[in-house]
Structure 1
Amino acid sequence: MSLPPPPANSDSADTSAPSLVRTYRVWQGSNVFLFGGRLIFGPDVKSIFISVFLIIVPIAVFCGLVARKLLDDFPHHSGWSIMGVVIALTLFVLITLIVTSGRDPGIVPRNAHPPEPDDYNWTENSNNGQISTSRFPRTRDVIVNGITVKVKYCDTCMLYRPLRASHCSVCDNCVERFDHHCPWVGQCIGLRNYRFYYMFVFSATLLCLYVHAFCWVYIVRIKDFEKISIWKAMSKTIASTALIIYTFVCVWFVGGLAVFHTYLISTNQSTYENFKYRYDPQTNPYNRGILNNFKEVFCSRIPPSKNNFRSKVPREPLDSYRRTDIRPLSPLMKRTTGHMELLVGNSVYNEHEEEESHHRDGSENEARSKDSESKDSGLTDKSVDLSRIFHTEGVEGQESSVGRHPPWDPTPQVPDRIIEVGESNWTTGPRYSTQETL
């Protein structure tokens, strides 16, 4: 008779084999993923339904009340081509809209940690007896076709942005060849979807002009058939009149965008660069001539995505890097108000004690005497209980409730970042701000 194997220790199993999750489930940007990470949208993805509505409803009215009346008005049944062309053009507009909105625009993967500071000169400044280290250089100079171009350091993504990349504040990602964030498609427009965005805008302009023209054709045929004025003919087909007004307004928007982006392509600029830098033809380092600029957009190979949103990554390392990173506490740390104790500088900060401090009775002289005593000893009153609060080396925060596991386990990376008692705030080495300065 064989005995059943003893149950495995859950703690050891968790540490030895961390759970795997899809990358898109722990993605730090503001994107929305569908179909298991196969489609990626911006946080304003709902606006795409408005765009689809503004396309389909007018076309349905045109097909039902205008194009259907023109099916037999032309010889050799050529009136059917009116219906076929508008349906094909509408499908093309919708497909380019979905492709533009649902693909990776060229997101630059974030770094788990800031770049190594060995290659940079760090200066230390004394401020009230405390040593503070400088941040990374904000820009780096890159030579492009003999012209110096500055690339910025992104505090959020912890990297120097590639050429022509910028950080989208809506999606919270750095995007290669960032053009703009389009609310009508609910996505950033960048290196990997700019081609499809231009095709969407240009085909939508053609669709508006097509519907606008054949609405006039239908009105003129009513005028000629009934021998009436153009105004009376327009009153007999309200649908055509409404579509004429609607498409006229739309052409000003999408047509204006089509013309503007045609100019940008011809000069090899992005919308962001055009509004921010105002390149002259002689100083634009990316301008290769009109023909080559169009070839670069429409004939060059689209680079593959640098992100595999469906790949599986261990959940624990991602959480550990977040909690060891020098940034505000992540929600993954499961901080409980009144129970979390944090080591900040040379004192232990306890939220519960901070709230109770407002209700404590004590004179100002007593507080000053306590401060002087703590300065003599090199420790604050709260830091005396440091050994009681931190039972293991390398733990930054711990819940004080009895019988509970700590909200996170110590990792090998944490001890290098823990600030020892008596040291100044955040100065165990070079420290980097992870919040981007706007």
Structure 2
Amino acid sequence: MLTRQSSVFFLTTFLIVLTFTLYCVFDVPYLATKVSPALPVVASILFALVISSLLKTTLTDPGIIPRPSNREAIEYDRQAQTLEPESGNRNANTPRQKVVNINGQAVKLKFCFTCRLYRPPRSSHCSICDNCVLNFDHHCPWVGNCIGLRNYRYFYFFITTVAILDIFIGVCSALHLGLLTTEKGTFIEALKHTPVSAAIFLITFFSIWSVAGLSGFHTYLIATSQTTNEDIKGTFNSKLRPHVKNPYSTGNCCKNIWRALCGPEMPSLLDRRGVIQSDIMVSVDAETFSRLSTQPKSPSPEPPEDPRMSLDREQISTDPPDEDIEVGDTECLPRNPFPAIPTPHCGTDSNGVKSHNYQENDDIEANRNTTISMQVIDPNTT
């Protein structure tokens, strides 16, 4: 799932292919004859693993959380735009977060005003991809994708195989230069004979430190069951927060590693027939919108009672932690408890949240993954 940084992904692929090609052209012919014909075979296998894991990391859905349905989004926007008559501030009853209990640890579910939903535990909104991602680790520009719940193992496999391939090619280039130095008598003569091998060695030498270091860092994160995002914030740092325990760790590093790398893969939450679309703006002429905004509003019938919508606002914001909520259980997340449809309104809030303009009883079919910002004419008036 390439993002707007797809050019960096192609640059990454180009650098990997270029380094391997130079190795095959300038080092392999000599080493296959003088050392062993198995060297190019091993290098080819490593190269295939690197490219396949890179493509898997880039093209796999990282765990994008679908945005609310159209009517849910309308109501969340109405709640966010409701003003107190006296103070002019936002509605104080609008729930900004909810607390759940995970393995005895209180965890906050924060409301995302961009996606208009409550984010499950460990989820975060990526400003580059403009989506909330399950188990958000970080956004990696080198692979052109977010790293989250569904593609983290492929990312780890990618950086690990890149580090191994770098070490292998670097050692082979150094071996080539060393054998030529023995044959030619001096290192300068060997360098004149194959300067590209020296360039390959320098490239791999400097890249090894960054890639191998990154692989080691993520090995530590996997063993302790943390994400990069949590490690940077110090969420479970025992020195900064000695009273906070990591509710996602099994307490055994081997079990944590097995669960992260070999556990079952969660299916994508996205509709396989749909795509993540950009915001859509639909406009109407000023005369029509003025007529819609000023015409008297007829009372709407009371909607049928829904057990999911029986909570009032104070109850949502003050309920004790739900003991039966599991990690990532989106079915337990609060849904829209207020079924009323907002009146027409347009504008942009102070924090950049878009206001939506809809008419009552508009039955708009929208892709579940589409964010729509529009002014809509009631079909009965057209």
Normalised TM-score (structure 1): 0.62
Q: What is residue 60 of structure 1 aligned with on the other side?
A: 21
Alignment partners' CA distance in 1, 2:93 and 2:115: 15
What's the % identity of the aligned pairs?
31
Where do residues 266-415 of structure 1 align in structure 2 (5 Å cutoff)?
Answer: 266-280=223-237, 283-288=245-250, 289-310=252-273, 331-335=280-284, 339-340=285-286, 386=291
- Deviation string 1:323-376 (CA, Å, 9 cap, x unpaired) is xxxxxxx643135xxx43587xxxx5xxxxxxxxxxxxxxxxxxxxxxxxxxxx
Alignment partners' CA distance in 1, 2:26 and 2:340: 73
Indicate how the Cα distance of structure 1 residues 187 and 217 shifts in structure 2: closer, same or farther if over 3 A, else same. same
User: Aligned to 1:182, which of 133, 140, 144?
Assistant: 140
Q: What is residue 127 of structure 1 aligned with on the other side?
A: 86
Q: CA deviation at 1:43?
A: 2.2
Contact 1:93 1:204 in 2 (8 A): yes
Q: What is residue 80 of structure 1 aligned with on the other side?
A: 37
Correspondence 1:43 to 2:4: yes
User: Aligned to 1:435, which of 327, 343, 353?
Assistant: 353
Alignment partners' CA distance in 2, 1:103 and 1:224: 48
Alignment partners' CA distance in 1, 2:58 and 2:207: 20
Q: Given residue 340 of structure 1, which amino acid in structure 2 is its aligned partner? A: A
Q: Given residue 173 of structure 1, which amino acid in structure 2 is its aligned partner? A: N
Alignment partners' CA distance in 2, 1:435 and 1:387: 23
Indicate how the Cα distance of structure 1 residues 115 and 392 shifts in structure 2: closer, same or farther if over 3 A, else same. closer
- Residue aligned with 2:44, SS: helix
Indicate how the Cα distance of structure 1 residues 390 and 72 shifts in structure 2: closer, same or farther if over 3 A, else same. same
Q: What is residue 123 of structure 2 aligned with on the other side?
A: 165
Q: CA deviation at 1:166?
A: 0.6
Q: CA deviation at 1:224?
A: 1.6
Q: CA deviation at 1:87?
A: 1.3
Q: Given residue 54 of structure 2, which amino acid in structure 1 is its aligned partner? A: L
Where do residues 192-207 of structure 1 align in structure 2 (5 Å cutoff)?
Answer: 192-207=150-165
- Deviation string 1:365-402 (CA, Å, 9 cap, x unpaired) is xxxxxxxxxxxxxxxxxxxxx589759979xxxxxxxx
Contact 2:74 2:342 in 1 (8 A): no
Query: Which structure features the higher share of strand residues?
Result: 1
Indicate how the Cα distance of structure 1 residues 42 and 135 shifts in structure 2: closer, same or farther if over 3 A, else same. farther
- Residue aligned with 1:233, SS: helix
Contact 1:126 1:132 in 2 (8 A): no
Normalised TM-score (structure 2): 0.70
Alignment partners' CA distance in 1, 2:97 and 2:340: 31
Contact 2:75 2:341 in 1 (8 A): no
* Structure whose CA Rg is larger: 1
Q: What is residue 147 of structure 1 aligned with on the other side?
A: 105
- Which runs of 4 or more aligned residues in structure 1 lie more than 6 Å from their structure 2 counterparts after TM superposition? 391-394
Q: CA deviation at 1:86?
A: 0.9
Indicate how the Cα distance of structure 1 residues 140 and 277 shifts in structure 2: closer, same or farther if over 3 A, else same. farther
- Residue aligned with 1:332, SS: strand
Alignment partners' CA distance in 1, 2:247 and 2:25: 51
Q: CA deviation at 1:236?
A: 3.0
Q: CA deviation at 1:126?
A: 3.8
Where do residues 68-107 of structure 1 align in structure 2 (5 Å cutoff)?
Answer: 68-74=29-35, 79-107=36-64
Higher relative contact order (CA 8 A, sep 6+): 2
5+ long unaligned stretches in structure 1 = 1-39, 313-317, 323-329, 349-385, 395-413, 420-424
- Residue aligned with 1:46, SS: helix
Q: CA deviation at 1:133?
A: 2.5
Contact 1:41 1:103 in 2 (8 A): no
Alignment partners' CA distance in 1, 2:141 and 2:59: 13
Indicate how the Cα distance of structure 1 residues 134 and 334 shifts in structure 2: closer, same or farther if over 3 A, else same. same
Indicate how the Cα distance of structure 1 residues 169 and 131 shifts in structure 2: closer, same or farther if over 3 A, else same. closer
Q: Given residue 243 of structure 1, which amino acid in structure 2 is its aligned partner? A: I
- Residue aligned with 1:196, SS: helix
- Deviation string 1:35-92 (CA, Å, 9 cap, x unpaired) is xxxxx32222222110111001111111111111111113xxxx22111111111111
- Residue aligned with 1:142, SS: strand
Contact 1:136 1:153 in 2 (8 A): no
Alignment partners' CA distance in 1, 2:102 and 2:340: 42
Q: CA deviation at 1:418?
A: 1.8
Alignment partners' CA distance in 1, 2:297 and 2:174: 81
Contact 1:158 1:434 in 2 (8 A): no
